[in-house]
Amino acid sequence: MSDPNRRALVAVVTSAIGALFGVAGVGHAYLREWARAFAWFTLVLGTGLLLLATFTDPTAVTLETLPIRVTLPLTVLLAVHTLDAYAVARRSQASGSSTSVAGDPAADCPSCGRELDPELSFCPWCAGSRNLESPG
């Protein structure tokens, strides 16, 4: 399996695991899409709170007594959230943003060959230098 396909698969798996626990945004956080992860988290949390306040008695509700009018929309939102994590991973693969760094032609570590984080001046995998030499 190629690295971009593995990245999309890991994003979907982490998103699905997060969805099983009712936490949206985990797959997007893995992809370092922080704003999108926060947006999904707040959307699902806000929707859940709104549905709970509207259709149940919040003081007497348990997981077993949640009505379908609450669980179905949340399940749909969490499924769409997982599909969106997959789409974001594939989009970043198609545009090359996951492996290319703006202004830096070498997006792989010269020592170990793994992907570099554009925000770090060293390789997080082997602690090797990025060789950030200025042109000229």
Q: Give per-residue pLDDT as tens, 20-66.
A: 998 999 999 999 999 999 999 999 999 999 999 999 887 888 888 88
The structure tokens 């693969």 sit at: 93
Query: Distances in Å between the alpha carbon of 130 and those of 60, 98, 100?
Result: 57, 17, 14
Name the pTM for this structure.
0.67
Q: What is d(CA 17, CA 26) in angstroms, rounded to the nearest whole number?
A: 8
The structural domains of the chain, with segments of one domain joined by +, span 3-95
